[in-house]
Structures are given as structure tokens and as C-alpha cells.
């Protein structure tokens, strides 16, 4: 089908409010959060129903037209960033929480619903959505599932995958697959829904999601703990796990360089003096403890006596809690540094974490000494984030830095992506984390579900 004919049919299907071309294309649809130069798509389709998503895909499939799937556009791997000539299929109008079933403890939402709305609906019903991340106000539940998002509470509730019970997905040819399962146990045949979780829009378009909800944690206590480096952080993790078990819900490590940048350039306050080798933001649900604040302080005191932490600041109010979180969230303000940034999202087995941190530090000192290299991470989940703010005086390209960092990670048996996915940005290094046989299987699955290769082409897997 010639492109003009396809565009005319899509325009007739969706009408002018939900289909845009040329100058009418909203600027937001030209880029995701990965930092690439804006690239307006050929057109933007904004369907409001699953049937419309299916109709759009049927037409594009028939015409061999490439489609980029867009949720909240907060992805950090470039997966939703348009490539020239693609039609953007935006889920922004397919939104709303359809149901909260308090008996089954499930929530059903349309894919374009912002995560914050899903969380609020769960909370209003006295329950908790187990997925939480810094982009909660803009990212969508469909995007969270498509990327198998992690975030701040993976330690307790798992990644998106562990929270999904059912999905509705539209395949590239317009076939609608509906499995809005609410049961924890359901072994009737292959669970194809798992295949779509983390597939980054390359195998189908998620249109509805059923989430398992959790009881709300009670009496949550927050503290920022100073520790003696990576080994100290892991010892604290072991001590807190032994004491609180599943009550430990947040364990966010930040290393020395990260704390110094936050102190001097973003938070502009002092918390520990001198800055420790590392600090960990900890949250524990104390449940029905008679005096949760005292019990938490006593536990931290005992851990300090055992040598698991050097110092701690405990939050006694919501405002103090927000001030402690500001240290961890300072990383979202790095655009203020005015330098090109590379965000690494690395998986490192806990057992190799201390060595990997030291090797990365030594690498940065030797190869890009003028650039700023900081580390933080959800280390209980084996997730280490490294941010490099590149000083051009080091004379190194982004790719040279990426090559060097990924080689260290591969050497420690780690992963080039813990939670953000592969998208286009990390595609060249996928072979460091997956074998040839695994990559061949992924290509076969892609060819089966999207034989014309129209869905998010070039993401995750390269051509051929
Ligand atoms: C400030 C900030 C903090 C962040 N913190 C975290 C974090 O802690 N943990 C974490 O994992 N990520 C984090 N991210 C990354 C990002 O928020 C997540 O990847 C999020 O899940 C993306 O959701 P989205 O709706 O914005 O998806 P988009 O960016 O629109 O898309 C992401 C990918 O999913 C595909 N996709 C989107 N919607 C669908 C759908 N309905 N069906 C099929 N495919 C779809 C897209 O094609 C693309 O490949 C953070 C990002 C920012 C900006």
C-alpha cells in the first residue's frame, strides 16, 4: 500500500483528534528520555480502544509499515524513540484503571495509564502496587510491563514480571490475545504473557494489564546509613535481612563520589561529615510493632554495635523522609551538570559487586580522569547504576567508554542491562550477556510473532 494511501486510511479510522501528520505531530512524540536527537515520526496514531490498536496494526502490517510503540516515553534505552519513516503508535489515550478487585487483590488497567494513577487506585482500595520508580508520574503501566521495569521496591515485590497476572496483547498482524487472568495458579497451557514482559514492544502491543496487588506495608521507617564501602553495604543488607526478613523494602546504595556530587551540586546540604565510603537509604516496614520508631532505632543501634554501620540518620516525619530520599533522587537532576551523560544500568552478581565497583573506579581514573563517574544502585537486586558525565578534555567517545565498562561487567559475569532494557542503545553489546543460541531463539520468536518485522524494528535485535 503506498504510504499516502495508508495514511489516508489511518486518518479515516481515527479522525483528526487521534491521528496527526506533519506539523500537527506533538513534539513529545519525537523523542524518549534516552537523550537522542528528536526525530518526528511519519505520523502519530493515538487509538482509544484495543479494537482501534488492532485496526491500526492490521493496516500497517498489510502495508509493511514500520511502527514504533510509545508509552510514557520515559525509557532510557531508546526503544520508543522514532526512527525515520516510522509511524508512532502511542498508547497515551488508551488509559484508565478498569477495576480494582479487592477479593482477588488484583487491578486491571489499560496500558497507557500512568503508573502513579495505578498506584493511587491501589492505595484508595487499601492495597499496594508493587511497582514503583522515579518516573512514576509519566511512565505507563504498559511501558513498565514492556520493559519489565524494576525500581525502588524490587527487593520486596520483584520486578514488573512478578506483579503481572494477566495481559491483553495485540500482535503485529492485528490479532488480539486476551488473558486477563486473576488467578495465582493457572497452568492451562503455555503462559505466552511472560514472553511479552520485557520484550520492549518488539513482539506485540500490550493493551491491558492485570496486576497482583499487595497488602500495604505498615509503620514504614526510613534511615540513611553510612557504611564502609561495598562490603559494609552488603554486611548491612545481611544484618537487616536477618532482623526484618520481608519487612526490608528499600535498600539503595550510593558510593562516595555520588554523595559528594549530591552534597556540592544538587542537594546542597550535609548529612555525614566526612562523606563516608558509601551510604544506604533503607526502608523497613515494622508491621504491628508496639513502638515502631523505637524498635527501628534500637535495631539500627544493635547493627552499629555489631559493626554493620558507622552512622545513621533516621527520618521522624514525612518531610525528613523526603529530605533523605532527595540524596538518592539527586541523580535525576544531572542535566544541571551541563555535560553529556551516559547512564549505565548494570547487573552484577552480589558476590562480585565489591570487585566490580573497584575495577570500574580504577578504569575511570585511568581512562577518563577528568569526567565525573558516580555509582549508585539497588544492590540487593544485583543492580549497579554508573553515571559518567563526560568531560570532552578526556578525548574519549561515548562508545569507547561503553565498550570499556561493559567489558568489566562481562568479566564479572554481569549483565549489560539490569532493568532498563536493550532498546537501540545497548543492542551492540547484547552478545556479551546472551549466547549465540539464545540470540538465534530470540530471532525465531520475533519472526513467528511479527513475520513482516514491523514492530519496533531494530530494537533489542538488529536486522538479520
Ligand atoms: C527519572 C527516571 C527514573 C527511572 N527509574 C527507573 C527505575 O528505577 N527502574 C526502571 O526499570 N526504569 C526506570 N526508568 C526507565 C523508565 O521509566 C522505564 O523503562 C519505564 O518502564 C518506561 O515506561 P514508559 O511508559 O515511559 O515506556 P516508553 O519509554 O514509552 O517505552 C519503553 C519501551 O517499551 C515499549 N512500550 C511502551 N509501551 C508499550 C506497550 N503498551 N506495549 C508494548 N510495548 C510498549 C516501547 O516501544 C519501548 O521499547 C526511569 C526513567 C526516568 C526518566
Residue 229 backbone zone (phi > 0: left; psi -120 to 50: alpha; other: beta): left
Query: What values do phi and psi take at 340, rounded to 5?
Result: -65, 140
Do 310 and 227 contact (CB within 8 A), yes or no? yes
- Domain shared by 320 and 351, yes or no: no
- Domain shared by 245 and 155, yes or no: no
Q: Where are the alpha helices (DSSP H) in 114-228?
A: 115-124, 141-146, 154-157, 160-163, 193-196
pLDDT at position 348, please? 97
Where does residue 86 rank: exposed (0-12), middle (13-18), buried (19+ CB within 10 A)? buried
Within 13 Å of residue 89, how many CA atoms lie on the same side as its CB? Answer: 35
Percent of the chain exceeding pLDDT 70 equals 99
Residue 448 lies in a domain: no
- Domain shared by 319 and 244, yes or no: yes
Pocket flag, ligand 1, residue 52 (CB < 6 Å): no
CA 118 to centroid of ligand 1, rounded, Å:
15
Pairwise CA distance, residues 243 & 238, whole Å: 9
Tens digit of pLDDT for each residue in 49-83?
Answer: 999 999 999 999 999 999 999 999 999 999 999 99
What lies within 8 Å, CB to CB, of 256 at 6+ separation is: 275, 276, 277, 278
CA 135 to centroid of ligand 1, rounded, Å:
8
Query: Which residue, 179, 197, 215, sits at the end of a domain?
Result: 215
Pocket flag, ligand 1, residue 456 (CB < 6 Å): yes
- Domain shared by 248 and 327, yes or no: yes
Work out the mean pLDDT of the chain and round it to a whole number: 96
- The CATH number of the domain where 253 resides is what? 3.30.70.2190
Residue 251, SS3 per DSSP:
strand
Nearest atom in ligand 1 to the alpha carbon of residue 204 is 43
Tens digit of pLDDT for each residue in 354-397?
Answer: 999 999 999 999 999 999 999 999 999 999 999 999 999 999 99
Residue 437 lies in a domain: no
Residue 101 has a CB neighbour count (10 Å cut-off) of 14
pLDDT at position 146, please? 98
Q: What is the mean pLDDT of residues 433-454?
A: 97
Tens digit of pLDDT for each residue in 107-163?
Answer: 999 999 999 999 999 999 999 999 999 999 999 999 999 999 998 899 999 999 999
In this model, does residue 459 exceed pLDDT 70?
Answer: yes
pLDDT at position 168, please? 98
Pocket flag, ligand 1, residue 425 (CB < 6 Å): no
Residue 463 lies in a domain: no
Pocket flag, ligand 1, residue 139 (CB < 6 Å): yes
Residue 457 lies in a domain: no
CA 305 to centroid of ligand 1, rounded, Å:
42
pLDDT at position 413, please? 96
Query: Which residue, 46, 72, 90, sits at the end of a domain?
Result: 90
- Domain shared by 175 and 117, yes or no: yes
Nearest atom in ligand 1 to the alpha carbon of residue 149 is 11
pLDDT at position 290, please? 86
Query: Which residue, 215, 241, 275, sits at the end of a domain?
Result: 215
Sheet architecture: strand order including 311-314: 311-314, 220-227, 278-285, 248-255, 372-377, 383-389, 341-347
- The CATH number of the domain where 52 resides is what? 3.30.43.10
Residue 444 lies in a domain: no
Pocket flag, ligand 1, residue 151 (CB < 6 Å): yes
- Domain shared by 321 and 355, yes or no: no
| Secondary structure element (H or E) that encloses residue 222, with its range | strand 220-227
Pairwise CA distance, residues 437 & 460, whole Å: 15
In this model, does residue 353 exceed pLDDT 70?
Answer: yes
Pocket flag, ligand 1, residue 341 (CB < 6 Å): no
- The CATH number of the domain where 360 resides is what? 3.30.70.2740
Tens digit of pLDDT for each residue in 228-274?
Answer: 999 999 999 999 999 999 999 999 999 999 999 999 999 998 899 99
- The CATH number of the domain where 178 resides is what? 3.30.465.10
- Residue 326, CA distances (Å) to 27, 262, 301, 320 in order: 30, 9, 24, 10
- Domain shared by 115 and 195, yes or no: yes
Q: Binning pLDDT at 50, 70 and 90, where does residue 45 land?
A: very high
Residue 192, SS3 per DSSP:
coil
| Secondary structure element (H or E) that encloses residue 257, with its range | helix 256-261
Tens digit of pLDDT for each residue in 304-338?
Answer: 999 999 999 999 999 999 999 999 999 999 988 88
In this model, does residue 2 exceed pLDDT 80?
Answer: no
Residue 464 lies in a domain: no
> Helices 292-305 and 229-244 sit at what angle, rounded to 10 degrees?
130
CA 445 to centroid of ligand 1, rounded, Å:
22
Residue 455 lies in a domain: no
Give the domain range for residue 353.
Answer: 338-421
Number of structural domains the chain divides into: 4
Do 207 and 110 contact (CB within 8 A), yes or no? yes
- Domain shared by 325 and 349, yes or no: no
Q: Where are the alpha helices (DSSP H) in 292-418?
A: 292-305, 318-329, 353-367, 398-411
Pocket flag, ligand 1, residue 163 (CB < 6 Å): no
- Domain shared by 107 and 188, yes or no: yes
Pocket flag, ligand 1, residue 74 (CB < 6 Å): yes
Nearest atom in ligand 1 to the alpha carbon of residue 145 is 21
Residue 225 lies in a domain: yes
- Domain shared by 405 and 327, yes or no: no
Angle at 136 (CA atoms; ends 134, 138), nearest 5 degrees: 115
Query: How many helices, marked H, and strands, marked E, lie in the chain?
Result: 15, 17
- Domain shared by 202 and 109, yes or no: yes
In this structure, is the dihedral angle defined by the CA atoms of residues 114, 155, 178 and 71, taken in order, positive or negative? positive
pLDDT at position 464, please? 46
pLDDT at position 462, please? 80
What lies within 8 Å, CB to CB, of 391 at 6+ separation is: 339, 368, 370, 371, 372
Its pTM stands at: 0.95
In this model, does residue 288 exceed pLDDT 90?
Answer: no
- Domain shared by 110 and 198, yes or no: yes
Pairwise CA distance, residues 231 & 253, whole Å: 11
Omega before 274 within 30 of 0, i.e. cis: yes
Q: Binning pLDDT at 50, 70 and 90, where does residue 164 land?
A: very high
Amino acid at each position: 500500500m503506498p504510504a499516502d494511501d495508508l495514511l489516508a486510511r489511518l486518518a479515516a479510522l481515527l479522525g483528526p483528534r487521534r491521528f496527526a501528520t506533519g506539523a500537527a505531530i506533538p513534539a513529545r512524540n519525537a523523542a524518549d528520555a534516552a537523550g537522542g536527537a528528536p526525530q518526528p515520526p511519519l505520523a502519530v496514531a493515538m487509538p482509544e480502544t484495543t479494537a482501534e490498536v488492532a485496526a491500526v496494526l492490521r493496516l500497517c502490517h498489510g502495508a509493511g509499515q514500520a511502527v514504533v510503540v510509545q508509552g510514557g516515553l520515559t525509557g532510557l534505552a531508546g526503544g520508543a524513540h522514532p526512527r525515520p519513516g516510522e509511524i508512532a503508535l502511542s498508547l497515551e489515550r488508551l488509559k484508565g484503571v478498569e477495576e480494582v478487585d479487592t477479593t482477588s487483590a488484583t487491578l486491571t488497567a489499560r496500558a497507557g495509564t500512568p503508573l502513579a494513577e495505578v498506584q493511587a487506585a491501589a492505595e484508595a482500595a487499601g492495597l499496594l502496587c508493587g511497582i514503583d520508580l522515579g518516573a512514576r508520574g509519566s511512565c505507563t503501566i504498559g511501558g513498565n510491563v514492556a520493559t519489565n521495569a524494576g525500581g525502588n521496591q524490587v527487593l520486596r515485590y520483584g520486578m514488573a514480571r512478578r506483579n503481572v497476572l494477566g495481559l491483553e496483547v495485540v500482535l503485529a498482524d492485528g490479532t488480539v490475545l486476551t488473558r486477563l487472568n486473576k488467578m495465582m495458579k493457572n497452568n492451562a497451557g503455555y503462559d505466552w504473557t511472560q514472553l511479552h514482559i520485557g520484550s520492549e514492544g518488539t513482539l506485540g502491543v500490550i493493551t491491558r494489564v492485570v496486576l497482583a496487588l499487595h497488602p500495604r506495608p505498615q509503620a514504614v521507617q526510613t534511615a540513611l546509613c553510612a557504611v564502609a564501602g561495598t562490603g559494609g553495604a552488603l554486611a548491612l543488607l545481611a544484618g537487616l535481612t536477618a532482623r526484618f526478613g520481608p519487612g526490608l523494602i528499600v535498600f539503595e546504595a550510593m558510593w562516595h563520589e555520588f554523595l559528594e556530587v549530591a552534597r556540592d551540586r544538587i542537594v546542597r546540604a550535609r548529612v555525614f561529615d566526612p562523606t563516608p565510603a558509601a551510604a544506604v537509604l533503607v526502608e523497613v516496614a515494622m508491621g504491628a510493632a508496639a513502638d515502631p520508631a523505637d524498635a527501628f532505632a534500637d535495631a539500627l543501634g544493635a547493627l552499629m554495635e555489631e559493626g554493620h554501620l558507622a552512622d545513621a540518620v533516621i527520618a521522624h516525619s514525612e518531610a525528613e523522609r523526603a529530605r533523605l530520599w532527595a540524596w538518592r533522587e539527586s541523580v535525576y537532576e544531572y542535566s544541571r551538570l551541563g555535560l553529556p551523560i551516559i547512564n549505565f544500568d548494570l547487573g552484577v552478581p552480589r558476590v562480585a559487586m565489591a570487585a566490580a565497583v573497584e575495577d570500574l573506579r580504577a578504569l575511570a581514573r585511568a581512562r577518563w580522569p577528568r569526567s565525573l563517574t558516580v555509582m549508585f544502585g539497588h544492590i540487593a537486586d544485583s543492580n549497579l547504576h554508573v553515571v559518567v558525565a563526560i568531560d570532552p578534555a578526556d578525548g574519549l567517545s561515548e562508545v569507547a567508554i561503553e565498550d570499556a565498562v561493559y567489558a568489566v561487567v562481562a568479566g564479572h559475569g554481569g549483565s549489560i542491562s539490569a532493568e532498563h532494557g536493550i532498546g537501540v542503545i545497548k543492542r551492540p553489546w547484547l552478545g556479551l550477556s546472551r549466547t549465540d543460541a539464545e540470540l538465534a531463539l530470540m530471532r525465531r520468536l520475533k519472526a513467528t510473532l511479527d513475520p513482516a518485522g514491523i514492530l519496533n524494528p531494530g530494537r533489542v535485535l538488529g536486522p538479520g
